[in-house]
Amino acid sequence: MSTVTKADPASPAGSASPLHQRRPLGDRGFQIVALGAGLLVLVILVLITYTTAQQSTTWFAGGFKDIFQVAFDGNTKFGAMGVLYGTVISSVIGVIIGVPVSVGIALLLTQVVPARWARPFVYVMDLLAVVPSVVWGLWGIIVLVPWLQKIYLDIASGVKGIPVLDSLFGGPNVTGASFFTAGLILAIMITPIITSLSREVIATVPDIDKEGAYALGATRWEVIRGAVWPHSQGGVTGAILIGFGRAMGETIAVALVIGDSVEVTPHLFYSGHSIAAIIALQFGEATGGEFRSALIGLGLFLFVLTILVNLVARWFVERSARRARGG
């Protein structure tokens, strides 16, 4: 995009023409309405911060030590650490599993499959994207969890006594609804967004770079490593971070498959909890006082966390888009 087109033809430069001065009232009104609609985004974001902060003062008044304890029992202990741990661990598992798959598909669709055959593949990814969270959760709790439970138990007995693996995949409380199951579901759910954002970034790699590499005799993989990857690295990093943010905020599917116990443990096959899940499952029972205040405070916590992740992610994406334009 050239900057020349930015000149506004409705307000010509130079001497103020009579036409320019006689701007109809409706025209001005329309501009104000449009501006108002745009400002609504900022207003909502500010109001979310303000109202949730205001409603969670009781919880924050408890002090640093109360807020950052592990336990959350809905009675006297309202710690953020346990649920925060579950949010981060399940999202990290989701990213570790989801990213190679997503980036692989993005490369497949841009570098391997010819453009005119790519459409059916994109449809499949769209299909994956529109399956609602609660349907993944339903499938997770009724089909996946009982099936995974057997596999987890087999793995747990297999790694018994092996130092690191035992504390990650073993232990006596191994169960189907666990951090790892939540991570698996999250991996499926964040794959479409990471794939589509990565595809957009990879599509901006100049053909001349790729053709140059091919002309030097590089294989397709060498072209990807040498020409495509250096160019799209930043944007793909942004896409991964956006996927990570989505995973942290994902509520219903996680609430159904992560189990229902707040703890900090290295055992990935143990049941846990996440910030979003605990709000979804317990807000109805929290009719007042510190309980409700704590859940709203956790919501604010999650909000700020995802905003920060998204800010960094968008910065990566926009920087790489600027570079692609050569700016």
Partner 1 sequence: MMAAISDSLARPVDLREPSGWRRSKNQIMTILMWLAFVIVLIPLGFVLVTLVAKGAAAISWQFLTNSTIPPNVVPLGTGGMGAAVVGTLEVTGFASLLAIPLGVLGAVYLNEYGGNRILARLISFMSNVMTGVPSIVMGLFIFIIWVTHFGYSGLAGSFALACLMLPIVIRSSYEMLILVPDSLRQGSYALGASKARVTLTVVLPAALSGIVSGALLAVARAAGETAPVLFTMLTVEQTNANLFSGPNTTLPFQIFMNAQSAYTGANARAWGAALTLVAITFILMIAARIITALFTRNAR
Q: Between residue 50 and residue 69, which ones bind partner 1 under the rule CB under 8 A?
A: 51-52, 55
Q: Which of 13, 41, 115, 208 binds partner 1 (CB under 8 A)?
A: 41
In the complex, the smallest distance separating the C-beta of residue 276 from partner 1, rounded to whole angstroms, is: 5
**Beta carbon nearer to partner 1, 71 or 305:** 305
Q: Which residues contact 87 (CB under 8 A, 6 or more apart)?
A: 248, 274, 275, 276, 302
**Judged by CB under 8 A, which stretch of 18-26, 75-83, 204-212, 263-271 contacts partner 1?**
18-26
The answer to whether 103 touches 187, Cβ cutoff 8 Å, is: no
Site membership for partner 1, residue 16 (CB under 8 A): no
Minimum CB distance to partner 1, residue 81 (Å): 19
Whole-angstrom CA distances from 62 to 76, 82, 126, 264 are 11, 17, 45, 21
Q: Give the span between the Cα atoms of 208 and 214, in whole angstroms.
A: 10
Query: Residues 90, 207: contact at Cβ < 8 Å?
Result: no
Q: Which helix (H) or strand (E) element contains residue 168?
A: helix 163-169
Rg over alpha carbons for the chain, rounded to the nearest Å, is: 25
Q: Which of 88, 280, 321, 324 binds partner 1 (CB under 8 A)?
A: 280
Among 16, 33, 61, 203, binds partner 1 (CB under 8 A): 33
Is 224 an interacting residue with respect to partner 1 (CB under 8 A)? Answer: yes
3-state secondary structure (DSSP) of residue 72: strand
Applying CB under 8 A, which part among 64-72, 139-147, 169-177, 261-269 lies near partner 1?
A: 139-147
Q: Smallest distance from the beta carbon of 160 to partner 1, in angstroms?
A: 29
Q: Distance between CA 274 and CA 280 in Å, rounded?
A: 10
Tell me, what amino acid is at 40? Answer: L
Q: Which of residues 204-223 bind partner 1 (CB under 8 A)?
A: 217, 219-222
* Helix 81-107, helix 229-249: angle, nearest 10: 140
Site residues (CB under 8 A) for partner 1, limited to 233-262: 242, 245-246, 248-252, 255-256
Among 310, 321, 323, 324, binds partner 1 (CB under 8 A): 310
Interacting residues with partner 1 between 161 and 180 (CB under 8 A): none
Buried b / exposed e along 305-322 (16+ C-beta atoms within 10 A): bbeebbebbeebbeebbe
**Contact status: 324 vs partner 1 (CB under 8 A):** no
- Closer residue to partner 1 (CB): 232 or 306: 306
DSSP type of residue 283: T
Region 76-135 residues binding partner 1, contact defined as CB under 8 A: 100-105, 107-108, 112, 121, 123-128, 130-135
Kindly report the number of other CB atoms within 10 A of residue 323's CB atom.
14
Q: Shortest approach of partner 1 to residue 168 CB, angstroms?
A: 22
Q: Is 135 helix (H, G, I), strand (E, B) or coil?
A: helix
> Most distant CA pair in the chain: distance in Å?
87
Q: Which among 71-79, 162-170, 227-235, 280-288 is the span making contact with partner 1, rule CB under 8 A?
A: 280-288
Nearer to partner 1, 156 or 313 (CB): 313
